[in-house]
Structure 1
Amino acid sequence: MELLLPALGYFVWTLVAFLIVFFILKKFAWKPILSALSEREKNIADSIATAERVKVEMAQMKSENEALMQQAREERSQMMREAKEIRDRMINEAKDQAKLEAGKILTDAQASIEQQKNAALTDMKNSIGNMVIEVTEKVIRRELANKTEQESYIRTLANELGTTARN
């Protein structure tokens, strides 16, 4: 059993060596080890806090990006609506302008036709008046004793004037 129990001398010297090493470690190594552990714990806590802050910032940036995208979509659709309205307005203005121009051209054409018609009627009236004067002049110049000859002569003149007017 001697092998199982250490001798008292070894026990005391082992205890003294352990206490000396313990006090030396406590005096020189314990504070740096604890400060290093404390520093590491602080760094880990700071890293976790930084990671949380970055995570929050990323979530905020994501929501801002989504808001910007939504705003851009709304602006694009607004611009498309405005472009369509401008296009429709331009088309309607062009149609209205074309209708006005067509109406003006039609009015001018009708006025021109009316003017030409009036000129033609005036010419025809003048021609008929001249023919009547010529016939009357010829009838008066020729004094015939016979009334039947006068009527025959008037018919001949009317036929002559009728063929002249047709040409």
Structure 2
Amino acid sequence: MLTNPSFGLLFWQLAIFVILLLLLRALAWKPILAGLREREESIEGALRQADQAKLEMQALKAGNEKLLAEARQERDRILKEASAMSNQLIETAKQKATDEGARLIMQAREAIQNEKQAALAEVKNTAAQLSIDIAERILRRELTDSAAQKQLVTDYLQEVKLN
């Protein structure tokens, strides 16, 4: 019988397959494809934001390097002016120029560090928000069943009693 199936058996198997295929198309494929499309868009958005943050960091770095170069030029100018004066004025001017240059470099480094921390905080906040969104979607999908909801509530209550 299995090697020579009858026409009726083939007909009903084909009919059931077509019905199952139509049900899957209507109920499963469209939501799955929509979810995948949405996830792809969110990932692309996160990548764009990361690229933008990278470009901003490069721009900040270039600006900070310019500040450092200007600070060095200022220090050199002060040193040249001090060399024209007497030995006592030379020593005083050198000390002032060195202190000023160190201060400007320290301020520039602090500014670089502050900007870096701000950019990293923004990237972390974005990643945290994406993680929360993903977790929320997963929980929504997993808790559509009322039995799963009741089990989750029971588990949380047991954890709270233990703590």
Between 1 and 2, higher relative CO (CA 8 Å, sep ≥ 6) is seen in 2
**TM class, shorter-length:** 0.3 to 0.5
Q: Structure 2-normalised TM-score? A: 0.47
Q: Structure 1-normalised TM-score? A: 0.46
Q: Tell me which structure has the larger Cα radius of gyration.
A: 1
